A = this chain, B = another copy of it.
Amino acid sequence: MDSMVNPAKSSVALDSSPIAPCPLPARAKSPQNQALTILHAEHDVVFHEGDDISHYYEVIDGAVMLYKILPDGRRQVVEIVGPGGMFGISCDDSRDCTAETLIASRLRVMDHVNCDSVPEAHCRMCKQLQEQLREMRSHAVLLGRKSAMERVASFILCLVFGRHVGSDESCDERGHKLTVRLPMTRQEIADYLGLTIETVSRSFSELKRRGLIDFDKNDWVRVTDLQGIDNLSGTR
């Protein structure tokens, strides 16, 4: 509907000086080493469903969600992209979903035309697509076949094992982050998991009641029984 891009909240910067930000290192340094970097504040829309397509993006730091909205307002968050992830890649002429930051994010803006000319960029993009497809398939299983509790447990596992989210989690035992930040509101989590906000809240409360997790101020979760969470995830 709305074709506006980058409202006030975002600012643009140039990576340039000595930096050498081609989408890809080495060989891609055609004109010069410049990569356009933009900063988006929390909950800032990068592009809307229906917008014309010009660029694609890489998350340098922060986190972005992609979502689609049905005519009656129901929303489904279809993807969450963390640092290193790319989004907005498409051959079509218009966006099939909306991209919005979850938290303040720094994005590298890249041009589709570069893809064709720069083999490394193309290759990297392709790997990204494969990875995203793999994750979407797992997510389809979650959405199509898992119970509310299993969805929430799976979601926590994703956070623990580092998918999406960046930020400063405290890693404890062998590399797992046992205290993770929930970079999303309950509503966003619900829309990602295909549930309602109430069901998400109830599931979290139940997990806490059972002693599997604990909360710090609503957006930090301490996983006290990883095995227990794993058992509830429906995956094994």
A234: contacting residue among B72, B116, B132, B193, CB under 8 A: B72
Contacts of A32-69 to chain B: CB distance below 8 A: 66, 68
Question: A19-27, A84-92, A155-163, A174-182: which one contacts chain B?
Answer: A84-92
How many chain A residues sit at the interface, stated as a range, is 35 or more
Question: A100-108, A135-143, A219-227: which one contacts chain B?
Answer: A135-143
Indicate if the CB atoms of A136 and B140 lie closer than 8 Å: yes
The verdict on A210 contacting chain B, using a C-beta distance below 8 Å, is: no
Chain B's closest residue to A140 (CB) is B78
The verdict on A145 contacting B76 (CB below 8 Å), with A132-B133, A136-B133 known, is: yes
Indicate if the CB atoms of B130 and A90 lie closer than 8 Å: yes
Chain B's closest residue to A66 (CB) is B137
A127: contacting residue among B91, B97, B191, B193, CB under 8 A: B91
Indicate if the CB atoms of A141 and B78 lie closer than 8 Å: yes
Q: CA–CA, A92 to B138, complex, Å?
A: 15
Interface centre among A71, A145, A235 (most CB of B within 10 A): A145
A235: contacting residue among B71, B123, B133, B134, CB under 8 A: B71
The verdict on A70 contacting chain B, using a C-beta distance below 8 Å, is: yes
Contacts of A104-160 to chain B: CB distance below 8 A: 116, 122-123, 125-127, 129-130, 132-134, 136-141, 143-146
Q: CA–CA, A76 to B235, complex, Å?
A: 13
The 7 closest A-B pairs by CB, nearest first: A144-B194, A143-B143, A129-B129, A76-B141, A78-B137, A136-B136, A76-B144
Report which A residues bind B (CB closer than 8 A). 66, 68, 70-72, 74-76, 78-79, 89-92, 96-97, 116, 122-123, 125-127, 129-130, 132-134, 136-141, 143-146, 191, 193-194, 234-236
